Amino acid sequence: MEDKKYCMESYLTVRYVYDENKCFKEGIIPRKHPDVPLEKKVPCKTAEDIDEGIRNQLEKIDLSKAGMLLSGGMDSAILASYMPKGAKCYTARCIGENAVDETEQAKKYCDIYELEHVIVDVTWDDYVNEMDELMLHDGSPIIPNEPQAYKAALRAKADGCNLIVYGDCADTEFGGMDRLLSKDWKYDEWINRFTFLDASKVLKDGSIAMDTYEKYRKTNGDIDFIGYIQGPYAVSAAGALTNAFECAGLDYIDPFEHLKMAEPLDLKRVRNGESKYLIRQLFKMRYPMLEIPEKKPMSRPAEAWMKNWGGPKRKEFKEDCVTGLTGEQRLLLYSLERFLDLIDA
């Protein structure tokens, strides 16, 4: 059902259209990343269990033409260690002021396991040139990391790859969102903390899409924040990457997505600085010679890219609504307006 108002609010709240029965425009159906049912995920109690779970999945796949999306972090580094020698590993390097360069760290992993390291430079022009194709394929505005994943995927496709291995879901499945896991949240607190961009601040007739949170509300006024991280947050994060891969014509697999914790997450360990403690242990098993890499901010220089954007001009938006917004929030808003222009053309 066409409901542009709801779709705008949902996108700004959780970065995708939460209600699968609604769309921005009739005939343009938002794509949703398919959930892996909880009962089909393999429970892991130890780092060795995760190791076995990854091996069992990758051994069933022909990796002879597989590429790897590799950052400087430990999740993708772990998966790279299971790739065949000579496999191509693609690291996106965003170009811009204060961009985070992960290529040096990523190259260490490739050198250890004799993998070919391919650096893919990504500029704002790439974003501008790739957005429309990604949005039309997705049926909704993009999430900010899609264009850089898409450019890497296109390079992999041109290099002869037919499959991308990536490691996105370790954060959501194994306790990597340390800031979101830093406390037991009240329902209202979580909404204020998590909402990407409050629609009431930028839309003339907008509000936060509360249906995205209601399922996780507890009767005592708290929220099931772990369930939310493994639900709406995971769907939006994974959906951005898989839309990029599909748009490039590649198959894909994230082995972490098919695994889960066998026991409740030990929040005390996470809150004492040991986020993803099982993943940390596995990293040390696979890279005993390296220190665990520090978690870095997002690589794209959104602040620099969006600092001169004057804000949306369409009638749906408030005037001068970008004042005080972060670069990431401006990029969301830019994407939303561009998508609306695209489907109205």
Which pLDDT score is estimated for 297? 59
pTM above 0.85, yes or no: yes
Q: Could you give the CA distance from residue 294 to residue 74 in angstroms, rounded to a whole number?
A: 9
| Cα 59 from chain centroid (whole Å) | 25
What average pLDDT score do residues 295-320 get?
Answer: 88
What average pLDDT score do residues 36-40 get?
Answer: 90
Which pLDDT score is estimated for 225? 96
Beta strands in 209-325 (DSSP E): 251-253, 259-261
**pLDDT tens track for 181-193:** 999 999 999 999 9
Q: Is residue 296 predicted with pLDDT exceeding 80?
A: no
**Separation in Å, CA 147 to CA 111, 156, 242, 327:** 27, 14, 12, 16
User: For 310-313, which contacts have Cβ atoms below 8 Å and span 24 or more sequence positions?
Assistant: 312/202, 312/336, 312/337, 313/337
Q: Are the C-beta atoms of 261 and 44 separated by less than 8 Å?
A: yes
C-alpha torsion sign, points 80, 83, 84, 88: negative
**pLDDT tens track for 284-295:** 999 999 999 987
Which pLDDT score is estimated for 96? 87
The crossing angle, in degrees rounded to 10, of helices 234-247 and 124-138 is: 100
**pLDDT tens track for 204-229:** 999 999 999 999 999 999 999 999 99
Which pLDDT score is estimated for 298? 62
The crossing angle, in degrees rounded to 10, of helices 277-286 and 47-58 is: 70
C-alpha torsion sign, points 180, 181, 182, 186: positive
What average pLDDT score do residues 156-172 get?
Answer: 97
Comparison of pLDDT for 321 and 98, the residue scoring more: 321
Q: Could you give the CA distance from residue 74 to residue 88 in angstroms, rounded to a whole number?
A: 18
Which pLDDT score is estimated for 240? 87
Q: What share of the chain is helix, strand, coil (3-state, %, to 5)?
A: 45, 10, 45
CA atoms within 13 A on the CB side of 5: 5
Q: Could you give the CA distance from residue 104 to residue 90 in angstroms, rounded to a whole number?
A: 12
Paired residues of 122 in beta bridges: 94
What average pLDDT score do residues 80-108 get?
Answer: 95
C-alpha torsion sign, points 313, 316, 321, 326: negative
**pLDDT tens track for 57-79:** 999 999 999 999 999 999 999 99
Q: Are the C-beta atoms of 287 and 111 separated by less than 8 Å?
A: no
Among 85-89, 97-101, 144-148, which range has the highest average pLDDT? 85-89
CA atoms within 13 A on the CB side of 67: 25
Task: Give me the phi and psi of 116, to 5 degrees please.
Answer: -90, 120
- Domains of the chain: residue spans and CATH: 33-344 (3.40.50)
Give 144's pLDDT tier (boundaries 50, 70, 90).
confident
The whole-chain average pLDDT of the chain stands at 95
Which pLDDT score is estimated for 107? 98
Which pLDDT score is estimated for 295? 75
- The residues, any chain, with a CB within 8 Å of residue 259's CB and separated by 6 or more, are 41, 42, 43, 44, 50, 53, 54, 173, 174
Q: Could you give the CA distance from residue 100 to residue 180 in angstroms, rounded to a whole number?
A: 22
